């Protein structure tokens, strides 16, 4: 039940934290509070079902905290911000956020967003429009299925044979949906070596091979998207 979920509120404004706590507890949620980005990262564990993260916080802002939180959990992250520029929203999504709510917001609106994020995260619709399932052993994105326990990848009913490098590239992006990974990010994360200029070509070759295996039309990819001038991501 959604009512048993624990939500972490990270905001340096104590009044906003208090209002959100009262509101969420009245809906049956358990609430944990964090006073800044560092505190939020420290308080992330398996009990947290959703994070409400203010963008403008001292020491470590919401975007930076989000990147570190994504190393610990794939629980949904809802950004709260006074910023309205599209570039700010893009930065929020690329750092690993799932939704974006501009202050001031209505109580009804934030509850609707929270419930929608939790529903998408914990419930899996078996129809064709299913987005994903996140648990300890599997990730499902459309027709793409990854079993992390057995390192198995399937598209539809067909099992796909990937090299270790291809699998690790796919897993890196699938675990961090919407985040844009540069060639350097991918190389240093997957190869565990310091990036050098020609490594860009190495990454491009592996992305191309990976697409030929998982995409119906590698020239018009459904899963691994190119963000021109920035890198790659899985939406």
pLDDT of amino acid 61: 86
Share of the chain above pLDDT 70, in %: 87
Task: Of 10-19, 124-133, 139-148, 206-215, give the lowest mean pLDDT range.
Answer: 124-133
Task: Give the C-alpha separation, 36 to 40, whole Å.
Answer: 6
Give Cα separations from 173 to 49, 94, 123 (angstroms): 21, 11, 21
- Residue 131: is its pLDDT beyond 80? no
Q: How far apart are the first and last CA of the chain?
A: 27
pLDDT of amino acid 85: 58
Task: Give the C-alpha separation, 142 to 168, whole Å.
Answer: 19
Tokens of residue 219, six digits: 């020239």
Give mean pLDDT, residues 160-173. Answer: 90
Residue ranges of domains in the chain, CATH in brackets: 2-122 (3.40.50.2300), 162-234 (1.10.10.10)
Q: How many CB atoms lie within 10 A of CB 111?
A: 15
pLDDT in tens, 213-226: 999 999 999 999 99
């Amino acid at each position: 039940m959604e009512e048993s979920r624990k939500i972490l509120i990270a905001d340096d404004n104590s009044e906003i934290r208090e209002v959100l706590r009262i509101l969420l507890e009245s809906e049956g949620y358990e609430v944990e509070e964090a006073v800044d980005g560092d505190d939020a990262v420290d308080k992330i564990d398996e009990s947290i079902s959703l994070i409400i993260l203010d963008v403008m916080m001292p020491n470590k802002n919401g975007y930076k905290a989000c990147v570190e939180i994504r190393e610990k959990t794939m629980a949904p992250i809802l950004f709260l911000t006074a910023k309205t520029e599209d570039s700010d929203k893009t930065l929020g999504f690329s750092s690993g956020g799932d939704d974006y709510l501009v202050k001031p917001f209505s109580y009804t609106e934030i509850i609707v967003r929270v419930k929608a994020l939790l529903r998408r995260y914990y419930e899996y619709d078996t129809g064709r429009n299913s987005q994903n399932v996140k648990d300890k052993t599997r990730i499902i994105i459309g027709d793409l299925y990854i079993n992390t326990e057995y390192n198995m990848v399937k598209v539809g009913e067909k099992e796909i044979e990937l090299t270790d490098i291809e699998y690790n590239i796919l897993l890196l992006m699938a675990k961090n949906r919407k985040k844009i990974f540069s060639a350097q990010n991918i190389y240093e994360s997957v190869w565990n070596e310091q990036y050098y200029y020609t490594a860009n070509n190495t990454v491009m070759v592996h992305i191309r091979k990976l697409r030929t295996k998982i995409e119906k039309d590698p020239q018009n990819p459904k899963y691994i998207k190119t963000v021109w001038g920035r890198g790659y991501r899985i939406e």
